[in-house]
Amino acid sequence: MNVVIIDYNAGNIRSVDFALKRLGVNSEITNDINKIEKADKVIFPGVGEASSAMAYLKKYKLDEVIRGLKQPVLGICIGLQLMCSHSEEGDVECIGIFDEKVKLFDNMEKKALKVPQMGWNTINNVKGSLFDNSLEGNYVYFVHSYYAETGKNTVAETTYVNPFSAALQRDNFFATQFHPEKSGPVGAKILKNFIEL
């Protein structure tokens, strides 16, 4: 199986590669459009800032490439946010695969909750191809200051400051706000489910 991880100058990409290796899956980290388009599975992970990440994607036309992919695609963390319609981080239009918008946590009323959210939280109301009932209520690992609203593409929810999308799905596009590569056996199962789609 040919698995590609998109390299777009974002951080924390190699940890996904290591997580796949633990599952016995080899992947290639690349920004080569031809390799991305020919891959069996594409992963779009990373941490970073939305407007600068979108500027890089547009410069190399990777936004158009991602939007046009027909094979299973998994966005992780900022990958999920960039697949949404708009992000408040840098006030930037994103790739637009998901209609949901990305907003900054407003913890003015709940100052006990620190932003960014860093740590473990449960996923609830899970559905779709990445999840099964055994994953309902399990803990996964989040690191983020921005979140995607809940909407028609939401396939898992959680709450921190307010309810938000822990995962999104539309057609062949999947995305998690949490880091499956850092979420122990639960995250490994979700990655395995994606690889086996």
Domains in the chain (CATH in brackets) are 3-195 (3.40.50.880)
Q: Please enumerate in sequence order all residues whose Cβ is within 8 A of that of 52, keeping only pairs 6 or more positions apart, or say none.
A: 90
The confidence score (pLDDT) of residue 111 equals: 75
The confidence score (pLDDT) of residue 109 equals: 73
Q: Write down the catalytic residue from 84, 100, 144, 179.
A: 179
The confidence score (pLDDT) of residue 9 equals: 86
Q: Write down the catalytic residue from 144, 157, 181, 196.
A: 181
Q: Which of 138, 177, 133, 137 is nearest to 154 (CA)?
A: 177
Q: Write down the catalytic residue from 28, 77, 94, 196.
A: 77
The confidence score (pLDDT) of residue 107 equals: 80
- HSE, side-chain direction, 13 A CA sphere, residue 115: 15
The confidence score (pLDDT) of residue 168 equals: 98
Token couple for 137: 């209520």
Per-residue pLDDT of the chain (197 residues; tens, 9 = 90+): 999 999 998 888 999 999 999 999 999 999 999 999 999 999 999 999 999 999 999 999 999 999 999 999 999 999 999 999 999 999 999 999 999 999 999 987 777 789 999 999 999 999 999 998 899 999 999 999 999 999 999 999 999 999 999 999 999 999 999 999 999 999 999 999 999 99
179 is catalytic: yes
Cα 98 to chain center, whole Å? 12
